[in-house]
Amino acid sequence: MQWLSLASSRSVILRSSKVAMIVGTILVFINQADVIFSGELTVSHYIKILLTYCVPYCVSTYASVDSMLNSDATE
């Protein structure tokens, strides 16, 4: 329960959102730029783009919470 509480804290959400916006945008352009610029986006492309933002958000959240829990354990 402590993990979920930390993961839903304002500071973690803001940090993870910033990371997701930056890293997700870079990954979308690496992986989907040709489809975006050709104007051939389909529903499956939109789903892939959404998931591309979710992955760095989850990774950042995990790393932040893990760091917080480990810093509490060493004090």
Using a cut of 0.85, tell me whether the model's pTM lies above it: yes
pLDDT at 51: 97
pLDDT at 4: 96
d(CA 54, CA 33): 18
pLDDT at 1: 83
Q: What is the pLDDT of residues 32-60, one digit of tens each?
A: 999 999 999 999 999 999 999 999 999 99
pLDDT at 73: 66
- The answer to whether 32 touches 45, Cβ cutoff 8 Å, is yes
Above 70 in pLDDT, residue 75?
no
